[in-house]
Amino acid sequence: MRRELKTFVCLGLLILISSHILAAQSKSADKKEKPAPAPLTLKVGDTAPDFTLLAFDGKELKKVSLQDYRGKKNVALAFFVFAFTGG
């Protein structure tokens, strides 16, 4: 009987502790969902990752690579978000 009681108390404690841990975890998960504007992973001074992409000039598709401009020109690389393409 006493042994049963002990097991019961132990189980109760375990549940209590684990629920606290779970609650703490879900709290920190909530925080992750609403971050402040995150800093960029690429910093000033870093080498810009090379890429090759296609651009259409009205007649044909052309390959454009960042490395095409190495030693020739600076590049202002502007990422745009189009909610729609008509406007």
Partner 1 sequence: MKAFQQNLTKLEGNDTQVLGVSMDSPFSNFAFAQQNGVTFPILGDWGGPVTRRYGLIQKFDIQGVPMESARRATFLIDKTGKIINEQVDDTAVDPSKTVEACERQKLKG
Please tell me whether residue 31 binds partner 1 under the rule CB under 8 A: no
Please tell me whether residue 43 binds partner 1 under the rule CB under 8 A: yes
**22 versus 48: smaller Cβ distance to partner 1:** 48
**Which amino acid, 77?**
L
Please tell me whether residue 76 binds partner 1 under the rule CB under 8 A: yes
25, 5, 29: which is closest to 17 by C-alpha?
25
Say whether 26 sits in a helix, a strand or coil. helix
Say whether 62 sits in a helix, a strand or coil. strand
Q: Given the rule CB under 8 A, which residues bind partner 1?
A: 37-38, 40-51, 53-58, 61-62, 64, 66-67, 69-82, 85-87
